[in-house]
Amino acid sequence: MDKNLVVKDLEAVRSQSPLVQSITNYVVMNNTANALLAIGASPIMAHAVEEMQEMATICQSLVINIGTLSPRWIEGMLLAGKTAKAAGHPVILDPVGAGATSYRTQTCFKIIEECQPDIIRGNGSEIMALVNSDIKSKGVDSSESSSSAVESAKILAKRYNCVVTISGEIDYATDGEQVIEIHGGSPMMAKVTGLGCTASALVGAFAVVNRNYLQAAASAMQVMAVAGELAAAKSRGTGSMQMNFLDELYNLSANDIIK
């Protein structure tokens, strides 16, 4: 992929500081907010039905992550998603644990149907589970490689007219026709909870500044991969990895990306 486009998108995020609403899971909220701040965006976490229309209107994009689902939160997700979509804001879905329980899989389909997300980002198992109901996820960690999910991602993208991104050893972004591969990262990234969720949040920020969603998603994933690779090289374990990852996002230069 063209690294200069990534640099351009990153610079746009930093200069425009997009306001990104995340309705996400309890486990990762702190890290997601910090990652958005580190990359130059402005995060909001809010979920109550009572403020979803106002909140989704003032924010510039919406990231829905189903990691710790419950009924009232789903109501908030659907209302926010419809409001953001109607306002022309990018809507991103992170189908955490799709395939692990029918509640998760069905909620994903409900969100897809009612909110028509522009971008779906998941791991191999999750993406495959959204295409083939026979696929069972092992909880929230992927039991399928990202490369084995590329065909599913293309089907999903065509079926719902969206961009699909798969995280894994290699990351992929596809609009159903074109497939962009993103290399880099580190195996240690899968051992820090919620870096996939962070990726979805960054996709939400990049989609504000680049309405070519395929490129926006690829840029965000490339930024994740570069920051992850740089952070892993400095980290003694997963505790320092989590810290260094934020430091790398905060300091990421054009040169880091081009190299």
CB of 28 to a copy of itself, least distance (A): 7
Considering only the stretches 2-10, 33-41, 116-124, 207-215, report the one whose residues sit in contact with a copy of itself under the rule CB under 8 A: 33-41
Nearer to a copy of itself, 30 or 161 (CB): 30
Q: Name residues contacting a copy of itself, limited to 5-24 (CB under 8 A).
A: 19
How is 146-214 classified by DSSP, letter by letter? SGGGHHHHHHHHHHHTSEEEEESSSEEEESSS-EEEE----GGGGGSTTHHHHHHHHHHHHHHH-S-HH
Considering only the stretches 2-10, 168-176, 179-187, 241-249, report the one whose residues sit in contact with a copy of itself under the rule CB under 8 A: 241-249
Of 193, 212, 229, 254, the one binding a copy of itself (CB under 8 A) is 193
CB of 178 to a copy of itself, least distance (A): 33
The total number of residues shown for the chain amounts to 259
Q: Is 176 in the site for a copy of itself (CB under 8 A)?
A: no
CB of 98 to a copy of itself, least distance (A): 12
Residue tagged 């419809």 (tokens): 82
| Distance separating alpha carbons of residues 47 and 73, to the nearest angstrom | 6
CB of 30 to a copy of itself, least distance (A): 6
Of 8, 16, 42, 181, the one binding a copy of itself (CB under 8 A) is 42
Q: Name residues contacting a copy of itself, limited to 96-155 (CB under 8 A).
A: 97, 100-104, 136, 138-141
Q: Is 58 in the site for a copy of itself (CB under 8 A)?
A: yes
| Distance separating alpha carbons of residues 108 and 182, to the nearest angstrom | 25
Do 172 and 153 touch, CB atoms closer than 8 A? yes
Q: Is 72 in the site for a copy of itself (CB under 8 A)?
A: yes
Cα 72 → chain centroid: 22
Of 7, 59, 155, 207, the one binding a copy of itself (CB under 8 A) is 59
In 3D space, the residue among 86, 104, 103, 87 whose CA is nearest the CA of residue 95 turns out to be 104
Q: Long-range contacts: 254-257, Cβ < 8 Å, 24+?
A: 254/7, 254/10, 254/11, 256/226, 256/230, 257/3, 257/6, 257/7, 257/10, 257/222, 257/223, 257/226
* Tokens matching residue 41: 């965006």
Sites of contact with a copy of itself (CB under 8 A): 19, 25-31, 33-34, 37-38, 42-48, 50-51, 54-55, 58-59, 67-72, 97, 100-104, 136, 138-141, 191-194, 235-240, 242-251
